[in-house]
Structure 1
Amino acid sequence: MTTRIVVLGAGYSGQVAARLAARAQDVAVTLVNQRDRFVERVRLHQLAAGQDLRERPLTELLAGTGVRLVIDRVTAVDPGDRSVVLAGGDRLPYDTLVYALGSGMDLTSVPGVAEHAHTVAVAEEAQRLRARLRTGDVVTVVGGGLTGIEAATELAEQRPELKVRLVTAGALGAALSEKGRRHLRRVFARLGIEVRDEAEVAEVRADGVVLAEGEHVRSDVVVWTTGFTVPSLAADAGLAVDDHGRLLVDETLRSTSHPEVYGVGDAAAVRMPGGQELRMACATGLPAAQQAIRALLARRAGRRPKPFRFRYVNQCISLGRRDALVQFVNADDQAKESVLTGRLAALYKETVVRSAFHVQRHPSLPTSL
């Protein structure tokens, strides 16, 4: 009997899940995605800064995999009759659903963000930012996380005529080691990036941002990189979700409320046995997708799946094209004092990014499945 597997989302995790599932016998795998292109999201700050990214049509990437591709927007999941509702009106029935819809930027929690700020969350938004930068001189990047750091340094290096500022509610590089923070400060000074840390943004306007204490910080362009949202489909369908709307999954990446559903990537809340919540990253999403299909196929064969085991090694932060920071971490993602910096770190980071795309195109499962 053929098992119908529907995968929602063709990002890194979704493609890995679909490709691996399609290798099994007696399965029919359908991958649903709103856009017909795969975008390396981790490179969108490069696109915004003026670099061109390679076009990657999904039809070409999935050729020969046995995966059926449907380009459409999912409007609902109906766990009652195990089907997915599409914007075009069709319903896709499933026996197993893999929920891999990813995340987006939170544009509603602070007034003015949706109306006046730009993001680097999707390719179209990065392109709009790129076009807007042609007529702006002062850029304020809001958010001191990895996305904000990478966006600010990329813009400052590639567009030296711009005045780039980074505003963050916390301390710059707060999660890094002392060595990591020192290197970050040196790079920001070298690139001429103004840092306003411990400064919370209360409003975004057409001419800049307003800080919590009332100060208006003028800017031609505001780039918003803080906060996230996930699609509401899981919550709307009655699936168990966390406070952010992410699908709650067990140690095998299966929904805690609906055993025919698996969750991977940013839209799933993945926790280790000790309670550690894994961060949103390719480093998490790719092995999680492998684990989900490993568990799915094990159960299909009548075997008990092994729990997901994972540990972090580092955080890789690009600082333009010629510098980077590789912050080594312990198993629970806490920074060690050791770091790698400079051109060697930039090469390391580029290798990681290329490897993520390679793994996504050529995923594997352990022979012990």
Structure 2
Amino acid sequence: MTTTIVVLGGGYTGVMSAVRLARRTRRADVRLVLVNPSDRFTERLRLHQTAAGQSLADHRIPEMLEGTGVAFVRGLATSIDPVRREIRVAGDDGERTLAYDHLVYAIGGVTDTRVPGVGAHAYTLDGPAQAGRLAERLAGLGRRGGGTVAVVGSGLTGVEAAAEIAESHPAVRVILLGHGEPGSMMGDRARRHLRRALDRLGVEVRTGVEVTKVLPDAVELAGGEVLPVDACLWTAGVVAAPLAREAGLRVDGKGRVVVDATLASVSHPSVYAVGDAAAVRQAWGEIHGTCQSGIPSAAHAADAIARRLRGRRPGPFRFGYIHQPVSLGRRDAVIQFTRPDDSPGRFCLRGRAAVAYKAVVTGSPPKMYRLSRRVVIPARFLARAGGRAGRPDAAR
């Protein structure tokens, strides 16, 4: 009988899982389906560039899947029944039901908008449309001769966005607001370079602050201070999509699917969760959501399913971080090399060398998918294909 494998999500992890499954199961009687609301592949690593008004390459998921035999379904998954092994998908032509034998749950996280006013008045980097709206606002401010933009969240996503906006729109005042020092997870040299770059670009950094409310034309800080702004970009916090919890899958406090050592759901083993959607522990601690960890997890899930189909036992997922690549506009960057637990190592790259390194990291996933259609890339090499995902960081 034909085995049906459905991949939910067409981002970095979903496409990786689908392409690798196609290669791993090419001699088996398998039907592969990838479901995503859009046929456009979003390079989340570059969304801060979109927000600054830059044009990116237009990658399409069906083109990435060409020749693999993976069927693409454009639609939004509205519910999962893990007992009946069915998914409800809403598309342009109405709702349909997809049955599956194995499911790869690759729906990434979204911005945490629970702070009052964020959902109504702040911009996010949750996708090209959202980032594009900020780009339009910034262009309007430029035509008016300037304005003030607050970037909330001093994690690396906030740093990249603040630097990109300041460089692309020098007439705009950019204020970076966060709990901690930008680059606090980096070593001293990398952190000093990052801070000098922000100073050079004119980014005003305010640490030790908490934004308690976003207003139409201001942000309110803990203590009552009201800071007037013309736009607010929110990068402080991420939450998992609610679909897994609503389906009855066991999830952690952040809504991520709790998985075993092979990345299968501990409550429903026919479901594999990858990337930001999975709560994954290693010997050194818990993995946090990045493209760097997401792509290897997606490849491992594909390999685990393929092994199960052949009656073999999947091995455990093992992963360690190698770097923290951060762009600081188009002409500067810093790369902090790390220990496996993502703590800073001894070495870092800065300036032009870091820009070249970051360009390779950011541009490698689409190239890797094309290569993966022809060969199986050893899993140990896949960690080098991703940097920090273009997603909200927890405020530091």
State the TM bucket, normalised to the shorter chain. over 0.9
Cα deviation digits, residues 265-288 of structure 1 (max 9, x gap): 1111111134x1112111111111
The question of 1:357 aligning with 2:366 is answered yes
- Conservation of the 8 A alpha-carbon contact between 1:12 and 1:360: no
The question of 1:165 aligning with 2:170 is answered no
3-state secondary structure, aligned to 1:243 = coil
Q: Choose from 331, 334, 346 the match for 1:325.
A: 334
- Conservation of the 8 A alpha-carbon contact between 1:98 and 1:264: yes
Cα deviation digits, residues 66-93 of structure 1 (max 9, x gap): 0000001101000121110112321100
Instruction: Tell me the amino acid that sits aligned with residue 201 of structure 1.
Output: V
**1:254–1:367 distance in 2 versus 1, CA, 3 Å:** closer
Q: What corresponds to 1:183 in structure 2?
A: 193
Deviation at 1:359, TM superposition (A): 2.0
Where do 5+ consecutive residues of structure 2 fail to align? 142-146, 381-396
Q: What corresponds to 1:69 in structure 2?
A: 72
**Take 1:260 and 1:204, find their aligned partners in 2: how far apart are those partners?**
42
Alignment of 1:5-154 (within 5 A): 5-23=5-23, 24=25, 25-87=28-90, 88-108=94-114, 110-136=115-141, 137-154=147-164
Cα deviation digits, residues 100-138 of structure 1 (max 9, x gap): 011110112x11111111112210001100001123311
Cα deviation digits, residues 227-260 of structure 1 (max 9, x gap): 1122111111111111111111111111111111
Q: What corresponds to 2:322 in structure 1?
A: 313
Q: What corresponds to 2:355 in structure 1?
A: 346
**Take 2:370 and 2:311, find their aligned partners in 1: how far apart are those partners?**
28
**Take 2:110 and 2:32, find their aligned partners in 1: how far apart are those partners?**
25
The question of 1:284 aligning with 2:284 is answered no
- Conservation of the 8 A alpha-carbon contact between 1:9 and 1:32: yes
**Take 2:57 and 2:339, find their aligned partners in 1: how far apart are those partners?**
34
**Take 1:62 and 1:186, find their aligned partners in 2: how far apart are those partners?**
43
Alignment of 1:184-203 (within 5 A): 184-203=194-213
**1:240–1:134 distance in 2 versus 1, CA, 3 Å:** same
Q: What corresponds to 1:223 in structure 2?
A: 233
Deviation at 1:365, TM superposition (A): 4.7
- Conservation of the 8 A alpha-carbon contact between 1:104 and 1:229: yes
**Take 1:93 and 1:22, find their aligned partners in 2: how far apart are those partners?**
18
**Take 1:203 and 1:216, find their aligned partners in 2: how far apart are those partners?**
9
The question of 1:242 aligning with 2:245 is answered no
3-state secondary structure, aligned to 1:90 = strand
Structure scoring higher RCO (CA < 8 A, sep ≥ 6) equals 2
Instruction: Tell me the amino acid that sits aligned with residue 74 of structure 1.
Output: A
Larger mean Cα displacement after TM superposition, 292-301 or 147-156: 292-301
Q: Choose from 312, 324, 335 the match for 2:344.
A: 335
Deviation at 1:367, TM superposition (A): 10
**Take 2:251 and 2:169, find their aligned partners in 1: how far apart are those partners?**
42
**Take 2:304 and 2:135, find their aligned partners in 1: how far apart are those partners?**
42
- Conservation of the 8 A alpha-carbon contact between 1:16 and 1:361: no
- Conservation of the 8 A alpha-carbon contact between 1:282 and 1:356: no
**Take 1:146 and 1:207, find their aligned partners in 2: how far apart are those partners?**
25
**Take 2:183 and 2:67, find their aligned partners in 1: how far apart are those partners?**
44
Q: What corresponds to 1:174 in structure 2?
A: 184
Deviation at 1:366, TM superposition (A): 4.0
**Take 2:134 and 2:369, find their aligned partners in 1: how far apart are those partners?**
27
Deviation at 1:216, TM superposition (A): 1.0
Cα deviation digits, residues 156-180 of structure 1 (max 9, x gap): 1111111111000122221111112
Q: Choose from 265, 271, 280 the match for 2:275.
A: 265
Instruction: Tell me the amino acid that sits aligned with residue 359 of structure 1.
Output: M
Q: What corresponds to 2:393 in structure 1?
A: none
3-state secondary structure, aligned to 1:362 = helix
Instruction: Tell me the amino acid that sits aligned with residue 21 of structure 1.
Output: L
**Take 1:229 and 1:308, find their aligned partners in 2: how far apart are those partners?**
23
3-state secondary structure, aligned to 2:286 = coil
**Take 1:361 and 1:201, find their aligned partners in 2: how far apart are those partners?**
43
3-state secondary structure, aligned to 2:200 = helix
**Take 1:34 and 1:239, find their aligned partners in 2: how far apart are those partners?**
22
Aligned length in residues: 366
3-state secondary structure, aligned to 2:282 = coil
Q: Percent identity?
A: 48
Q: What RMSD, in angstroms, separates the aligned Cα atoms of the two structures?
A: 1.4
**Take 1:240 and 1:289, find their aligned partners in 2: how far apart are those partners?**
19
- Conservation of the 8 A alpha-carbon contact between 1:270 and 1:278: yes
TM-score, with length taken from structure 2: 0.90
- Conservation of the 8 A alpha-carbon contact between 1:201 and 1:212: yes
Instruction: Tell me the amino acid that sits aligned with residue 348 of structure 1.
Output: Y
Instruction: Tell me the amino acid that sits aligned with residue 322 of structure 1.
Output: R
**Take 1:331 and 1:74, find their aligned partners in 2: how far apart are those partners?**
34
